[in-house]
């Protein structure tokens, strides 16, 4: 059986250097390449179970996210994996479906498997609890969502600013009855994006050209909480469209709900931008939407890559104060928010009818 000493002899380095390479320690690129080449030629595979017992941790990093079916989290996971691949750590993906019981089970598994660290997008701002990991010395990084009261590093998006920019854009385009479909109550991303919506709306009513009498009271009816899923966005939008005075625009606070919103709008025989539609988070097929979907774009890959970098630093023993990194979003403007009087192809009795543009 090939041993670490055999690899060291073949690579012309010490066994300690081989160990550092295998454990993600700092060595020169030239020495690391010699060690890897020697290990491959000799067919050497380290005993990870034995190593985890010696080190009292495995070479596994947990990534706990609420919805792997959401392209946002798919890209985030890719960022985590790409960063981890540069080291000796492997990523274990855990999908909670936003369910606290599933999340707790995965957190327990992380402890039982002696994972080296965990990156978590919390299912609940107030109820996700990572204290058991922290008490056992397992580093934790919160990504996208931070559990309230958790003393951990975090990588977040400027959710409130993004929500405010989205709402201000709709108002600037001439929409006045702007609705917001946000996520579950108690989820930090949902609360922050809703806060941005409310702030921009209040600033418009206070400082802008004003709104029709009673509009401020009416706008309170235009907020819906859904489940960050396609079905939730569809149901919330259908409910809004059934109001006596329906909204003329909607800010969907995540990408999957925006898909459901578009479905409901078209089922009602309408078409953006007659009703403005704006999504928080990029929809992969957004360029294929007629006229192009306006989105608040989020650097999801960079969120994952940055979170993995912070976690690997903690695993390596970094003693720096807790860090919070906030990444900026950006508004990508398409035709779905061109304005209620911009001219649009309407659906009537199965036929296309073009509305004339205001002079």
Token couple for 152: 């951990």
Tally of residues, the chain:
359
Question: For residues 120 and 260, what is the distance between their CA atoms, to the nearest angstrom?
Answer: 26
Q: What 3-state class would DSSP assign to 103? A: helix
* Residues forming beta bridges with residue 354, ordered by sequence position: 345
Query: Contact 163/193 with Cβ under 8 angstroms?
Result: yes
At 41, the pLDDT band (50, 70, 90 cuts) reads: confident
Asked whether residue 359 carries a pLDDT value surpassing 60, the answer given is no
Interacting residues of 47 by C-beta distance below 8 A, sequence separation 6+? none
- The pLDDT assigned to 49 comes to 43
Question: For residues 118 and 201, what is the distance between their CA atoms, to the nearest angstrom?
Answer: 38
- The pLDDT assigned to 261 comes to 95
* Count of CB atoms situated within 10 Å of the CB of 248: 18
> Which whole number is the average pLDDT over 3-13?
86
Burial 87-102 (b: 16+ CB within 10 A, else e): bbbebbebbbebeeeb
- The pLDDT assigned to 228 comes to 93
Q: Which candidate, 331, 224, 236, 235, places its Cα nearest to that of 280?
A: 331
**What rounded mean pLDDT belongs to the chain?**
85
Of 63-77, 121-135, 281-295, which one has max mean pLDDT? 63-77
Model pLDDT for residues 162-193, shown as the tens digit of each residue: 999 999 999 999 999 999 999 998 889 999 99
Question: For residues 308 and 117, what is the distance between their CA atoms, to the nearest angstrom?
Answer: 10
The larger pLDDT score, comparing residue 6 to residue 189, is at 189
- The pLDDT assigned to 346 comes to 45
Helix (H) or strand (E) segment spanning residue 35: helix 29-42
Asked whether residue 61 carries a pLDDT value surpassing 50, the answer given is yes
What percent of the chain has pLDDT above 90?
Answer: 57
Asked whether residue 323 carries a pLDDT value surpassing 80, the answer given is yes
- The pLDDT assigned to 350 comes to 35
Asked whether residue 141 carries a pLDDT value surpassing 50, the answer given is yes
Asked whether residue 289 carries a pLDDT value surpassing 60, the answer given is no
Query: Contact 74/95 with Cβ under 8 angstroms?
Result: no
């Amino acid at each position: 059986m090939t041993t670490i000493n055999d690899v060291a002899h073949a690579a012309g380095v010490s066994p300690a250097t081989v160990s550092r390479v295998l454990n993600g320690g700092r060595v020169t690129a030239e020495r690391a390449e010699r060690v890897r080449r020697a290990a491959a030629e000799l067919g050497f595979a380290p005993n990870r179970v034995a190593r985890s017992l010696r080190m009292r941790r495995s070479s596994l990093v947990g990534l706990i996210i609420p919805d792997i079916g959401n392209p946002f989290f798919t890209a985030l996971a890719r960022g985590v994996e790409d960063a981890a691949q540069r080291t000796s750590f492997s990523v274990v993906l855990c999908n909670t479906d936003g369910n606290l019981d599933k999340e707790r089970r995965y957190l327990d598994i992380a402890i039982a498997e002696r994972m080296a660290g965990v990156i978590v997008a919390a299912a609940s701002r107030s109820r996700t609890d990572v204290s058991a990991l922290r008490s056992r010395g397992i580093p934790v990084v919160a990504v996208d969502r931070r559990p309230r009261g958790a003393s951990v590093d975090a990588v977040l998006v400027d959710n409130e600013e993004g929500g405010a920019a989205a709402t201000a854009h709709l108002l600037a385009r001439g929409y006045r009855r702007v609705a917001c479909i946000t996520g579950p109550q108690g989820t930090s991303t949902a609360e922050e994006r809703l806060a941005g919506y409310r702030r921009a709306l209040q600033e418009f009513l206070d400082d802008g050209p004003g709104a029709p009498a009673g509009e401020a009271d009416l706008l309170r009816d235009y907020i819906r909480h859904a489940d960050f899923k396609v079905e939730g966005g569809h149901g919330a939008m259908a409910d809004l469209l059934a109001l006596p005075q329906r909204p003329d625009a909607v800010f969907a606070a995540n990408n999957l709900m925006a898909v459901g919103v578009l479905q409901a709008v078209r089922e009602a025989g309408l078409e953006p931008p007659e009703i403005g539609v704006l999504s928080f988070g990029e929809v992969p097929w957004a360029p294929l939407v007629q006229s192009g979907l306006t989105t608040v774009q989020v650097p999801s890959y960079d969120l994952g890559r940055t979170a993995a970098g912070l976690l690997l630093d903690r695993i390596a023993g970094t003693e720096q104060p807790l860090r919070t990194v906030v990444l900026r979003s950006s508004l990508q403007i398409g035709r779905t928010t061109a304005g209620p009087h911009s001219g649009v192809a309407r659906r009537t009795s199965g036929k296309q009818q073009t509305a004339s543009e205001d002079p």
